[in-house]
């Protein structure tokens, strides 16, 4: 369990028992019709399936944390290590709890875990490049653009682009 007394949020490690609720949360936050994090106008289909999530959880380099309140899953965030880079992803706050500062707290926990436990030297976040509002959020958290852009990963079963030319941009935060 992650706890920092500077934040009033406790995160616990996700397990396979969380898989269905995590999929519901991630799909609602990314592909739902409400909340500011939705990308449903850009991408259709599920963001993740239970099978993909269970597969991710079996990866020893992937660490997924959940935030629950009153026995309801409200937020989650994942960290995948690649050498000394910590890739932050699977990050969601339920649309009913967005714009409360909770996302910032969850992100800060993940960053501290990546730095203090995983000895990360750099934090990396992948974002759909056309999501300027989301990129601005990460920039306010200290992430920087450096022009690294990749093709949208349709082969990873993360949804189908609704617009042509959709790309992924990497944002970096040096520690």
pLDDT digits (tens, 9 = 90+) for 96-138: 999 999 999 999 999 999 999 999 999 999 999 999 999 999 9
- For the stretch 13-28, pLDDT in tens is 999 999 999 999 999 9
Residue 8 is part of a domain; what is its CATH number? 3.40.630.30
Give the span between the Cα atoms of 159 and 153, in whole angstroms: 9
Other residues' Cβ atoms within 10 Å of the Cβ of residue 68: 15
By residue range, what is the domain housing residue 69? 2-125
112 within domain boundaries: yes
Task: Give residues with Cβ within 8 angstroms of 173, minimum separation 6.
Answer: 111, 122, 123, 124, 125, 141, 142, 143, 144
62 within domain boundaries: yes
| Predicted model pTM | 0.93
Give the span between the Cα atoms of 53 and 35, in whole angstroms: 22
pLDDT value at 5 more than 80: no
167 within domain boundaries: no
138 within domain boundaries: no
pLDDT value at 76 more than 60: yes
Other residues' Cβ atoms within 10 Å of the Cβ of residue 93: 27
94 within domain boundaries: yes
pLDDT value at 36 more than 50: yes
107 within domain boundaries: yes
133 within domain boundaries: no
155 within domain boundaries: no
Q: How many domains does the chain have?
A: 1
């Amino acid at each position: 369990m992650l706890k920092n007394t500077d934040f009033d949020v406790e995160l616990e490690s996700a397990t396979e028992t969380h898989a269905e609720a995590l999929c519901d949360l991630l799909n609602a936050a990314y592909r739902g019709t409400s909340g500011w994090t939705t990308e449903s106008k850009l991408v259709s289909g599920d963001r993740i399936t239970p099978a993909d999530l269970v597969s991710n959880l079996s990866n020893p380099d992937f660490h997924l944390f959940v935030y629950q309140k009153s026995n309801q899953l409200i937020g989650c965030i994942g960290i995948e290590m690649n050498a000394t880079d910590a890739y932050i992803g699977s990050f969601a706050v339920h649309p009913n709890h967005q714009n409360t500062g909770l996302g910032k707290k969850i992100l800060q926990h993940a960053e501290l875990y990546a730095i203090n436990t995983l000895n990360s030297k750099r934090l990396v976040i992948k974002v759909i490049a056309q999501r300027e509002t989301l990129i601005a959020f990460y920039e306010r958290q200290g992430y920087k653009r450096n022009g690294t852009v990749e093709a949208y990963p349709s082969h990873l079963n993360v949804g189908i682009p609704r617009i042509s030319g959709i790309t992924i941009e990497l944002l970096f935060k040096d520690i």
